[in-house]
Each structure stands twice: as C-alpha cells, then as structure tokens.
Amino acid sequence: MRTTASVVSKTVITELVLAVDGNLTLDIGEREEATVTKMRITYRDAEVAAIAYDTIEHGEPSSAVVHPDFIDKPDAWPYWARALVNNHRPA
C-alpha cells in the first residue's frame, strides 16, 4: 500500500539573538531604566511572535519580555526595537 500526502501548511520559526551595542535602554518602572545588552526576536513566518531582552538593572543581569498583549502593537515598543525588528525580519 502506498501512502500519499501533500503539505497543507508550513510555518517557519526564526529565532535571532542580537548583541546590542550602544546605550539602548528600557523603561522598567517609574523613572527607572535598564540597559539592554541583547535582544531576542522570534518570528513565526515573517510575523513577530516574541521579543525578549537581556538587561542590566542596578548593576545586575536581568531580563524583560514584551507582554503577549503588546507583541502586535509595535508602537508600544521602544523606537529602536521597532527598527531592529524590521531590519532583521525574514524575507
């Protein structure tokens, strides 16, 4: 017996880790900022699925993520994060 199948759907997951140079910061609270050292972007096909940051807060390593409610609202992200997401978006 021969089985045949055809592709119905294909999803490509791309995960990037970007080393961040410069003095990019995230607001982490009232009048507080964290320095970003890395940005992790996960794309599902060409759409952003997740964003995470490695940061330094008060001299200590930490991390932050974009809440799922805001992942599809790039106007809520820092301007530099929008630029990095768009510059590295898979074709």
The pLDDT, as a whole number, for residue 42 is: 98
- Of 18, 72, 67, 12, nearest in space to 48 by CA: 72
Domain locations in the chain? 13-87
Q: What contacts 82, CB < 8 A, 6 or more positions away?
A: 74, 75
- pTM across the whole model: 0.86
pLDDT in tens, 79-88: 999 999 999 9
Give me the pLDDT at residue 31, please. Answer: 78
Identity of the amino acid at 32: E
pLDDT of residue 55: 94
Question: Tens digits of per-residue pLDDT, 22-74?
Answer: 789 998 877 789 999 999 999 999 999 999 999 999 899 999 999 999 999 99
Element (H, E) at 60: strand 60-65
